[in-house]
């Protein structure tokens, strides 16, 4: 089979579209012919060596995608079934061995491209709004990186649950994008956004979703007493250390969120994915068309993602 590989760490130049051996199925695995593969910043970090990788070169990145079952070592799935996944390694290939507990069945209403575009970020946004913090109607939430993949979905889900949403982003173009996804107000990072938020909400917001990291202290500043800050990323660098005395004095809560702490069973994966798919099928959540690259052009796809010029998902097509 063909796969997008790398044998050393570095820039996109280390990527090679190469022929390698087909996967060998283990017990309770299915062999999936990939139709669409999600590209994420985690793939960039793996290519650069920021994430620990097991095994020996050539390495294959990718954890998210969708395709058709072409062989099965389990009766749960049969040849021809449509499935997707959000956390199976070695996905940047024509064929992927998928453990059945991580397979998510796809109905005909959800295309392969949509599944590969939305699962990882959509499941993250779903958990942020319904588990890390249980959003209720009438709350005001603040979303960092509001034009990003998780941000644009978190805006829509929060609005669906009845919240008012304030977004933060880096450019006027991205602000317009966040507003088009339903944000009620969007402020820029190079403005005095803390003052603007507190002018809008003098007591502070109910919950702040912080994926930037370096803004964590600022997030607490604009969150009301008895409010919550949900910390789920460090795209802008390491956060400040938070003084527990501040948490006690203000009765604020700091919550960490990693999707895989929650998405820890076959049933939970399928239930949360079906909730997300139902929102998409009903039109309550809008998914913007992804930017597609051939898997053989994976180097260009990596460069485009790293340029941060994209506002939607990037997918690879074998």
Domain boundaries, the chain: 2-118+263-317, 137-256
Q: How large a percentage of the chain has pLDDT more than 70?
A: 99
Averaged pLDDT, 40-57:
85
Between 67 and 53, the more confident residue is 67
The yes-or-no verdict on residue 306 having pLDDT over 90 is no
CA distances, 298 to each of 3, 12, 74, 87, 289 (Å): 10, 9, 32, 20, 18
For residue range 168-188, list pLDDT tens digits in order.
999 999 999 999 999 999 999
More confident residue, 259 or 105: 105
Residue 209 has pLDDT above 90, yes or no: yes
Domain 137-256 homologous superfamily, CATH? NAD(P)-binding Rossmann-like Domain (3.40.50.720)
225, with CB counted inside 10 A (0-12, 13-18, 19+), is exposed
For residues 234 and 172, the model is more confident at 172
Which pLDDT does position 258 carry in this prediction? 83
- The Cα–Cα gap between 148 and 231 comes to 16
Q: How confident is the model at residue 311 (pLDDT cuts 50, 70, 90)?
A: low
Query: Which of the residue ranges 9-23, 48-62, 85-99, 126-140 would you say has the lowest mean pLDDT?
Result: 48-62
Give residue 294's pLDDT: 98
According to DSSP, the β-strands at 291-294 and 314-317 are parallel
Q: What is the pLDDT of residue 74?
A: 75
pLDDT of residue 75 exceeding 80? no
Q: Which pLDDT score is estimated for 203?
A: 97
Report d(CA 229, CA 231) in Å as an integer. Answer: 6
For residue 224, give Cα distances in angstroms to 146, 163, 213.
20, 15, 19
The mean per-residue pLDDT over the stretch 273-300 comes to 93
Please state the rounded mean pLDDT for residues 26-52.
Answer: 91
CATH topology of domain 2-118+263-317: Quinone Oxidoreductase; Chain A, domain 1 (3.90.180)
Whether 52 has a pLDDT exceeding 80, the answer reads: no
Residue 78's pLDDT is what? 92
């Amino acid at each position: 089979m063909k796969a997008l590989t790398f044998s050393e760490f570095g820039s996109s130049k280390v990527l090679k579209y190469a022929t390698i051996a087909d996967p060998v199925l283990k017990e309770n695995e299915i062999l999936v012919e990939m139709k669409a593969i999600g590209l994420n910043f985690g793939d960039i970090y793996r290519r650069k060596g920021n994430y620990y990788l097991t095994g020996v070169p050539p390495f294959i990145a990718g954890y998210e995608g969708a395709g058709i079952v072409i062989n099965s070592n389990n009766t749960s799935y049969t040849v021809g079934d449509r499935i997707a996944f959000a956390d199976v390694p070695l996905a940047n290939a024509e064929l992927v061995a998928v453990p059945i507990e991580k397979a998510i069945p796809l109905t005909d209403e959800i295309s392969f491209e949509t599944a590969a575009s939305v699962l990882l970020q959509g499941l993250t946004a779903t958990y942020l709004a319904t588990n890390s913090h249980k959003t209720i109607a009438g709350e005001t939430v603040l979303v960092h990186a509001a034009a990003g993949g998780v941000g644009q979905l978190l805006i829509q889900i929060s609005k669906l649950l009845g919240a008012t949403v304030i977004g933060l982003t880096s450019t006027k173009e991205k602000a317009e994008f966040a507003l088009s996804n339903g944000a009620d107000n969007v402020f820029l990072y190079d403005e005095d956004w803390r003052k603007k938020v507190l002018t809008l909400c003098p007591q502070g917001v109910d919950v702040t979703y912080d994926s930037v990291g370096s803004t964590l202290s600022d997030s607490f500043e604009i969150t009301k007493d008895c409010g919550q800050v949900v910390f789920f990323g460090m795209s802008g660098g390491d956060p400040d250390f938070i003084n527990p005395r501040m948490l006690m004095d203000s009765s604020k809560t700091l919550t960490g969120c990693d999707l895989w702490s929650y998405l820890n069973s076959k049933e939970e994966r399928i239930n949360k994915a079906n909730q997300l798919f139902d929102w998409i099928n009903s039109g309550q959540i809008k998914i913007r068309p992804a930017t597609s690259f051939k898997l053989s052009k994976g180097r260009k796809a990596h460069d485009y993602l790293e340029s941060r010029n994209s506002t939607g998902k990037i997918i690879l097509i074998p």
